[in-house]
Amino acid sequence: MKKNTLAAGVLAALSFIAPFNQSFAKTLYVETWGADNATCSKSAPCHTLGGAIGIAGNRDRIVVGPGTFDIPNPSLEILQTSLKLTSVAGARATTLVPSGNGEAIEIEATGVTIGQRGKGFTFRGNFDGYPAVYVDTGADKARIEGNIFIDENDNASSAIDSDSARNTVRGNVVQGFSDAIYLDNSSLDGTRHQVRDNHVTGARNICIGVGSGEKSRNLVSGNVVTNCDYVGFEIYGGDSSGDRIEKNVVEQRIPPAYPGAGIYVFGGSPQVRRNAIRGQLVSGIYVEGDITATIRDNLVADTETGILVENNTIRTVIQGNTLVGNDTSVVFPRTEDSIRTFRSNNLLDYDCPYDFIGDQGFIGPFSPPFIVSDKTYHDQALIFGNLVIDCAFDNTAESAIAEGFLEISRPASKANAVKYKSDL
């Protein structure tokens, strides 16, 4: 009796394990020398991505060998949750080319991966106004990593375009496109995108953009963008966004078609920290629109205006920034009911070419270089502990400058330093 009971228990356990094993994810293979079939096995791989995607299930992996693969028109649609698409030899050896005009891949399920570090793809061809990879609404938690995107016909909208949330875009190289990488979502639960370690060059409008709703908490970090025709980074935040834009590099080596900003932020409560911005830009950092911003420890050089803050910005802290060779260091708006803190900044605008006093109420050599006595619009500003080099105060300016600056002529020394104290 005991023996029969034991046997029945073993059979019951096996009946439970069998269907569980059937649900395990499988790996499918694609090679240029393969032929589409019902298994896409390693020994008998498929020939096309479409063939492999057509038989894939949720959580499966598709591994693509080296070579060039055509993408059919319309685009490949990924409907399987957590499907992973990677290459064997990496982006430089594995190319995906749309055979028609339009998107290469459209992601319509959650958790999909396109590429990994050292296992990505090169997307190139004629996208005819469409993005190369589009992440549809609700297809959250996509990961797009280690790929190269080339807009050969200068007519694609984006390399990566998303209307979903919590996506990771990391380690990609993008050449051309209009808005090269643009992730957008208005989820009240927060978008929480991560855009990290990408290199974008030559975008015709925006190199990297993130649009978000409330509580977005996006992270844009470690990216390098060069020669964007309008904006390096564009961040649209919600009422309490908490976005972090940090450790990025913007370099504008040639005159842009539509001169804009290195980093442009609208709304929310962003932290713009430890970025390096240089080149032919109207402004290095530009923030506006019902915003509570922290602009801290950035380097801005050779722009028209280093930092521009305007249009209903509140409780903005500008601290620890280094501004070198800009026509104007910092511009504050004539906006009432704003609280701004400007402290501990190094304003190294050598040989200031303009008088300090003007009629605009701005900071910077464009009008007065730092702040004027028109305290009607600046009575809530806290200004102290800033260092100014080679912008000597003239006699007519001294009484009008809101103090809180340490002015030093080069070479810096205690003997030629003049410290201004402020009651602000």
Per-residue model confidence (pLDDT) at position 366: 30
Position 171 pLDDT exceeds 80:
yes
DSSP class of residue 412 equals P
CA 356 – CA 368 distance, rounded (Å): 4
E-only strand ranges, 94-189 = 94-98, 105-107, 113-114, 122-125, 133-135, 143-145, 148-151, 160-162, 168-170, 173-175, 179-184
Tens digit of pLDDT for each residue in 81-137? 999 999 999 999 999 998 776 788 999 999 999 999 999 999 998 787 889 999 999
Tokens of 392: 């000597």
More confident residue, 399 or 49: 49
Out of 1-10, 182-191, 271-280, 364-373, pick the least confident.
Answer: 364-373
Tens digit of pLDDT for each residue in 319-377? 888 878 777 777 765 444 455 666 666 665 544 433 222 223 333 333 333 333 333 33
Tokens 């991505």 correspond to what residue?
A: 49
Peptide bond into 369 cis (omega under 30): no
Q: According to DSSP H, which parts of 175-295 are helical? A: none
Q: Which of 311, 183, 168, 192 is nearest to 242 (CA)?
A: 192
More confident residue, 378 or 199: 199
Per-residue model confidence (pLDDT) at position 363: 37
Rounded percentage of the chain residues whose pLDDT exceeds 90 = 40
Per-residue model confidence (pLDDT) at position 41: 96
Per-residue model confidence (pLDDT) at position 361: 33
Rounded percentage of the chain residues whose pLDDT exceeds 70 = 67
More confident residue, 81 or 385: 81
Position 314 pLDDT exceeds 70:
no
Per-residue model confidence (pLDDT) at position 370: 35
289: left (phi over 0), alpha (psi -120 to 50) or beta: left
CA 153 – CA 129 distance, rounded (Å): 10
Q: What does the angle CA 223 – CA 224 – CA 230 come to, to the nearest 5 degrees?
A: 110
Say how many C-beta atoms besides its own lie within 10 A of residue 191's C-beta.
28
HSE-CB for 133 with a 13 A CA cutoff: 33
Q: What are phi and psi of 7, to 5 degrees?
A: -65, -40
Per-residue model confidence (pLDDT) at position 118: 95
Helices (H) and strands (E) in the chain, counts: 3, 40
Tens digit of pLDDT for each residue in 23-58? 588 999 999 999 999 999 999 999 999 999 999 999
Per-residue model confidence (pLDDT) at position 310: 74
Position 232 pLDDT exceeds 60:
yes
Position 181 pLDDT exceeds 90:
yes
Per-residue model confidence (pLDDT) at position 46: 96
- Give yes or no for a contact between 144 and 133, defined as CB atoms under 8 angstroms apart: yes
More confident residue, 219 or 75: 219
- Give yes or no for a contact between 89 and 117, defined as CB atoms under 8 angstroms apart: no
More confident residue, 301 or 102: 301
Split at pLDDT 50, 70, 90, the class of 189 is low
Q: Which of 296, 278, 288 is nearest to 332 (CA)?
A: 288
Q: Which of 340, 326, 316 is nearest to 261 (CA)?
A: 326
Split at pLDDT 50, 70, 90, the class of 226 is very high
- Please return the burial class of 410, using the count of CB atoms within 10 Å of its CB with bins 0-12, 13-18 and 19+: exposed
Per-residue model confidence (pLDDT) at position 307: 84
Per-residue model confidence (pLDDT) at position 313: 64
Q: What does the radius of gyration of the chain's CA atoms come to, in whole angstroms?
A: 27
More confident residue, 360 or 267: 267
Q: Which of 162, 94, 155 is nearest to 127 (CA)?
A: 155
- Give yes or no for a contact between 106 and 134, defined as CB atoms under 8 angstroms apart: yes
Per-residue model confidence (pLDDT) at position 93: 97
More confident residue, 241 or 195: 195
What's the predicted TM-score (pTM) here? 0.81
